[in-house]
Amino acid sequence: MGAPPRIAVAVVTMGNRPAEVDALLESVAKQDLAPARIVIVGNGCRLPEFARRLSLPGEVTTIDVEENLGCPGGRNVALARLRDFGDIDVVVELDDDGLLVDADVLRRARDLFEDDPRLGIVGFRITDEHGETQQRHIPRIGSSDPLRGGYVTGFLGGGHALRTAMLHQIGDWPAEFFFAHEETDLAWRAADAGWRIRYAPELLLRHPRTSPARHAIYYRVNARNRVWLVRRRLPIALIPVHLGVWVLLTLVRVRSTEGLRAWFGGFAEGIREPAAERRPMSWRTVWRLSRLGRPPVI
């Protein structure tokens, strides 16, 4: 057996949650497996001084980025720095307002990757401040049991771990998405390359209960990125099916006229604007995702 995977932690913040980031980093410092490296990115901001002086295990790197690059762009900055070091096997990425409740999260994540060489992504279970997991945070269609783990087709951006060998093969986050559906783009590329995605409910991240619609750009960017996603990743025959399903779901779910107007504006933008690369998944991958419970049209 080789050496156990080396773990790094990456946190991206816009600098507007100093108390939350402080608490998150304290929870990282209390882990019974110390990360080899920690990278903290100030996304469009200078990091507060606490992030520079806090006593943390491992080697800590702070990076200030002048422009807000969005969630995926900021994460790519952290990944690029870790890639420069060249000694990390698994990167744990955590939302800046999250909290590791248990002290064994990093060790358990490391063990999962060590036991399964084709495991590319591990998704954490997210609970709110009352210990409840929202339905949208369970990576299965129609599942109401947040404690049922196993192999799945997607993962949550708030707390997850990525194998660096997988990223080397499939590429990093789609920075142009800025916000929304970047996890699905990465998950579909990973699945198409033969990597497995595991939902591990024993790896717990506490995160305040929120709605993605709290962001002013949510409806527009959500629709635009969905169109980009399917243009980039689905076989041509499935693109109209996927988009048709989501138009119907949006008409049913969105009650706000303003929200619908923004959503269809983003939908048109996604069709009109270039979607960058097109690397559609194979039909074999479509079948595998369907067998796991989520065909890529839903």
Q: What is the pLDDT of residue 131?
A: 85
Q: How far is CA 117 from CA 89, 153, 162, in A?
A: 11, 18, 12
- Does residue 98 contact residue 9 with C-beta atoms inside 8 Å? no
> Rounded distance, CA 169 to CA 114, Å?
19
205-226 pLDDT per residue, tens: 999 987 665 555 889 999 999 9
> Rounded distance, CA 292 to CA 298, Å?
13
Q: What is the pLDDT of residue 2?
A: 76
68-111 pLDDT per residue, tens: 999 999 999 999 999 999 999 999 999 999 999 999 999 999 99
Q: Angle CA(97)–CA(201)–CA(197) in degrees, nearest 5? A: 95
* Among 24, 18, 22, CA closest to 45: 18
* Among 113, 287, 101, CA closest to 206: 101
Q: Under 8 Å CB-to-CB from 1, ≥6 apart: which residues?
A: none
> Rounded distance, CA 197 to CA 31, Å?
23
Q: Angle CA(154)–CA(232)–CA(222) in degrees, nearest 5? A: 65
Q: What is the pLDDT of residue 269?
A: 97
Say what the pTM is: 0.94
DSSP summary character for residue 45: B
Report which of residues 256 and 126 the model is more confident about. 126
- Does residue 147 contact residue 124 with C-beta atoms inside 8 Å? no
* Among 93, 94, 42, CA closest to 68: 42
142-191 pLDDT per residue, tens: 767 899 999 999 999 999 999 999 999 999 999 999 999 999 999 999 99
Q: What is the pLDDT of residue 211?
A: 64
17-44 pLDDT per residue, tens: 889 999 999 999 999 999 999 999 999 9
Lowest mean pLDDT: which of 50-54, 194-198, 277-281? 50-54
- pLDDT above 60 (res 51): no
